[in-house]
Amino acid sequence: MTSQPTPTKAGNPPGATGEPGGLQAGLKNRHLSMIAIGGVIGAGLFVGSSSGIATAGPGILLSYALVGTLVVLVMRMLGEMSAANPTSGSFSAHADRALGRWAGFSIGWLYWFFWVVVLAVEATAGAKILQSWIPAVPQWGWALVVMLVLTATNLVSVGSYGEFEFWFAGIKVVAIGAFIVVGALAIFGVLPGVHSDKASFGNLTSHGGFLPHGPGAILTGVLLVVFSFMGSEIATLAAGESEDPQRAVTKSTNSIIWRIGVFYLGSILVVVSLLPWNDPSIKDKGSYVAALDSLGIAHAGEIMNFIVLTSVLSCLNSGLYTASRMAFSLGQRGDAPKAFARTTRRGVPMAAIVVSVLFGFLAVFFNYKFPDSVFLFLVNSSGAVALFVWLVICFSQLRMRKIIQREAPEKLVVKMWLYPYLTWAAAALIVFVLGYMLTDTEHDGRETVLLSLLVAAVVLVVAVVKEKLHGGRTAETAVDAEQARAEVGA
């Protein structure tokens, strides 16, 4: 663990935390850089890409490109708002100001719900890998261990979270980079000691064409890959606890294009070039393991298990951090218990972290006791939250741009391209994807959207009723909220 910089207050409203220091600028530039890079590399890329390849063939590249373009646009909008007003609430805080309290409340709690369910999913995935290595410890025991360890790192300080994530993300980046280099050398036939008779760019068209299942498979592929991109926005939440929030947001926003291009499109291109898309091993072993096996690389499965475990731990680490910071922001704005907005002397929102991890533990319990009922409901009902978040970002940016231009135009250091046309285009694409999911019964798309809409409706009703009953925020919270709103015009 490296030594931490002298704690200074991060970019959050003064007096809103109920403790002396509030959130503190404990994240260094190298932490933020690696969080931004690693945020787009989720375990879903390694584990879930095989089903996408089987569904769309080489055309899955177009599915990844389409979703990647959407993420780039959404991140550009979020970068514009977050560079002008870095805050731990990120898009929830922006929605609060731009669209109204109902929007900030609803999307903030939905996002928190999404990540605490992810904690259970990833803890279980990590436990399965660890038990395969050390069978003496039961799965639930390994799930408990990884949750406790990463909870402890988050409770120590934001710097300890950043340090762990720096190394987790670093391993993922090096692994993907090495995979792309080795795969490219094999495709061009210049990899020393390896001769693969299957590796060729000809695999993109030789087995039923580039779109063996027709153009419609591209959209089906979108449904399968869209959720693996969730996490790109974490850098904008973490920026509020960095030494230079505006610079951190600007840098992560500007680099999103090459990050998606290299890590997603680059690695998937290598996979579908090393092997025919319909090779049975892709579905049986997983796309990346099958690709490594085709090159005769020894222990490919164990190598990939280690990389997936690293991705799982990274996702757990960031998921707990993200959920707790969203809960902290909701507490600041009076949309969650005030205890969530209190921090320790190290700038850690302890109550927000503990409550988030307790819900995660509860979800892990449901996964072991009721996997096909309660836990399946939790997973499906949080499945479309990513698209809801992106849609809210679009509508928030449409209004926030006008507010920033009126109150503090000098803070528009990051600007959305072709505003407002690309913003509307991105929103329309998101609505189209949600609509298309309603027609998908084969991959549970319809159930996911309907259950997610049900949960969103419940949260929205709670927001409206709460505001009606309490007549808005309390006087104290209202002052803090106005300070938060006024920051962008400061």
Structure token digits, residue 37:
């890079």
| Within-domain flag for 64 | yes
CATH number at residue 273: 1.20.1740.10
**What is the rounded distance in angstroms from the CA atom of residue 360 to the CA atom of residue 383?**
16
Residues 269-301: pLDDT tens digits? 999 999 999 999 998 888 998 998 888 888 888
Q: How big is the chain, counted in residues?
A: 490
| Within-domain flag for 414 | yes
| Within-domain flag for 233 | yes
Q: Flag whether pLDDT at 20 surpasses 60.
A: no
Structure token digits, residue 200:
């060729």
Structure token digits, residue 292:
């490594």
Q: Are 241 and 5 in contact (CB under 8 A)?
A: no
| Within-domain flag for 300 | yes
Q: Are 437 and 448 in contact (CB under 8 A)?
A: yes
Alpha helices, H only, 57-213: 60-84, 90-98, 101-133, 139-156, 158-187
**Helix-strand-coil split of the chain, %, nearest 5:** 75, 0, 25
**Domain with 293 in it:** 29-489
Listed in sequence order, the residues at least 6 apart from 171 whose beta carbon sits closer than 8 Å to its beta carbon are 307, 310
| Within-domain flag for 377 | yes
| Within-domain flag for 160 | yes
pLDDT above 90 covers a percentage of the chain that reads: 43
**What is the rounded distance in angstroms from the CA atom of residue 125 to the CA atom of residue 166?**
21
Q: Is the peptide bond between 20 and the residue preceding it cis, with omega within 30 degrees of 0?
A: no
Q: What is the average pLDDT score of the chain?
A: 85
Residues 426-485: pLDDT tens digits? 999 999 999 999 998 887 889 999 999 999 999 999 998 988 887 655 434 443 444 444
Number of domains in the chain: 1
In this prediction the pTM is 0.88
Dihedral angle of Cα 64, 67, 252, 173, to the nearest 10 degrees: -20
Calculate the alpha carbon distances from 89 to 12, 127, 199, 346, 356 in Å: 9, 31, 46, 19, 15
Q: Flag whether pLDDT at 18 surpasses 80.
A: no
Residues 390-433: pLDDT tens digits? 999 999 999 999 999 999 999 999 999 999 999 999 999 999 99
| Within-domain flag for 13 | no
| Within-domain flag for 202 | yes
Calculate the alpha carbon distances from 258 to 23, 251, 353 in Å: 31, 12, 33
- The average pLDDT across 296-316 equals 87
C-alpha closest to that of 411 among 281, 221, 258, 245: 245
Q: Are 126 and 309 in contact (CB under 8 A)?
A: yes
pLDDT score at 444: 82
Calculate the alpha carbon distances from 326 to 83, 361, 474 in Å: 18, 18, 20
